[in-house]
Amino acid sequence: MHFPLARDGLRELLICTALLGGGAGVSAWAALAVSPWFWMAAVPPSALWLFTVAFFRDPQRSVPDGPGLFVSPADGRVTEVSRLENHEHIGGPALKISMFLSIFNVHVNRTACDGRVIRTEYQPGEFLDARAPECGIRNESNTIVIEPGGGLPGPVIVRQVAGMVARRIVCKVGAGDILRRGQRIGLIKFGSRTDLVVPAVEGLEAIVRVGDSVKGGSSVLMRLTKAAEHGIGPRQNREAERLAASPGA
């Protein structure tokens, strides 16, 4: 049976295997040499090792095909669907969807659309609970600004936010990289939040609600009507790139 794991979790997996495997091994030896009751002592480290392996799972996903779609950049539960009057990276009104990732979710992040990475911005910060309203401003985060393709409005923002348990954000892309919808772009280790922010153009609608469970790369979060698709062209995206690249954006 094939069980794909995220390569960025290899260090943690090796450390966990060494420490927890050693504890389970000593317990097993004691169970054979001293008393069968020592088998009970092997259960906690074995369970923790299995949890760590499961946390870094990286399953294949079926990415939806078709124009005008934004897929989820993360697994988890939708905690916010809102319209913002102005977003600093968009330079105008925006539609924002946030997902909370518990320690039981897949933590590999994916891109919401085809496009080219304009830039990434790492911001150090605190480690508040990822469900707290102020965590998006105060917590450690990494912002990926994407110029979308396929006639989608841009720039598109994917933001990785560390949580109370997460202590490391991994970003695998940089300026100039070409992305395909659903492509892996990073990982947040042990509990976190991911935001998707898109310009609030006419005809763009969110098709998820707060409380919905979503899967990265396969669940559609937003879509454009066909009329809206025809109204978004290269000129609008060039303007979006200019706004995203301008100082203070």
H helices of the chain, in order, are 10-33, 43-55, 135-138, 226-231, 234-245
Query: Using CA atoms, how far apart are residues 185 and 50, in angstroms rounded to an integer?
Result: 25
Query: Using CA atoms, how far apart are residues 183 and 185, in angstroms rounded to an integer?
Result: 6
**Up-side HSE of residue 213: CA atoms within 13 Å toward CB?**
4
Region for 150 from its dihedrals, namely left if φ exceeds 0, alpha if ψ lies in -120 to 50, beta otherwise: left
Q: 120 near 174, Cβ under 8 Å?
A: yes
User: Active-site residue among 192, 213, 219, 246?
Assistant: 192
Catalytic site residue 246?
A: no
CA-nearest of 189, 191, 192 to 103 is 191
Active site members: 192
